[in-house]
Chains A and B, each alone.
Chain A
Amino acid sequence: MVVIILTIVLGLVMISMAVTALTAQRVRAAVLASGIVSLIASIIYLLLAAPDVAMTEAAIGSGLTTIIFFYVLNKIRRSDV
């Protein structure tokens, strides 16, 4: 039961983060929010008995993707980025 409530909370955070990603003023914030979505996803994967996936999502989906994003953002110098 605790697990289920935890999952629901995590799911809600994920969705709110996803919405944040779409509404954030700056692209950086959006990228960060989507990184958090991935990060939470990897926690849920652990709960769903998928440690391999959790690891991959954390390392690649949330980690590397966000890093690549930031690299590109750093190359684009604009006020709204």
Chain B
Amino acid sequence: MEYLTLQNIGLVTGFLLILIGLYGALTQKNILRIIVAFTIFDAGLNLVIVALSYIKGRVAPIIDQTTGITNLSEKFVDPVPQALVLTSIVIGVGVTGVMLTFALRMFKTRQSLDINDFKETKW
């Protein structure tokens, strides 16, 4: 039971999502599904990062009436990973958008979404 903390659940879920996402990215044949798999991979990553910021029994790092303004470092969870995740999410949407645009144009050139059809450069 001692391992059954909120943090560990988050971490394990996150790791599993990472692995599932990677597996999908490496095995799916449809380009769009590969992109979907990468968003799952991203979600897993973000979940891991947020889970790491969590400390049991502490509150979100926002100063309000309930927290007061003293000894905050003993009341707050870690704000740094949260800031990182924010960045990571925004990067994620940027990359996904770009990938989808590529997918769109690739479909236009070949009328196909199969990754195996885009091998004109090789060796």
User: What is the interface of chain A, defined by CB distance below 8 A to chain B?
Assistant: 3-4, 7-8, 11, 14-15, 18-19, 21-22, 27, 30-31, 34, 37-38, 41, 44-45, 47-53, 56-57, 60-61, 64-65, 68-69, 72-73, 75-76, 78, 80-81
Q: How many angstroms from the CA of A18 to the CA of B35 in the assembled complex?
A: 13
A47 near B6: Cβ-Cβ < 8 Å? yes
Task: Report if A3-B32 is in contact (Cβ < 8 Å); known contacts: A34-B40, A50-B53, A57-B46.
Answer: no
Q: How many angstroms from the CA of A41 to the CA of B49 in the assembled complex?
A: 12
Closest chain B residue, CB of each to CB of A19: B20
User: What is the interface of chain B, defined by CB distance below 8 A to chain A?
Assistant: 4-7, 9-10, 12-13, 16-17, 20-21, 23-24, 28, 30, 32-33, 35-37, 39-40, 42-43, 46-47, 50-51, 53-54, 58-60, 62, 77, 82, 85-86, 89-90, 92-93, 96-97, 100-101, 103-104, 107, 113
Interface of A is mostly: helix
Q: Chain A residues with Cβ under 8 A from B51's Cβ? A: 48
Interface of B is mostly: helix
Q: How many angstroms from the CA of A38 to the CA of B77 in the assembled complex?
A: 22
**How close is A26's CB to chain B, nearest CB, in angstroms?**
10
Among A7, A18, A57, A73, which residue has the most Cβ atoms of chain B within 10 A?
A18
Q: Report which of B6, B36, B101 forms a contact with A21, defined as CB distance below 8 A.
A: B36
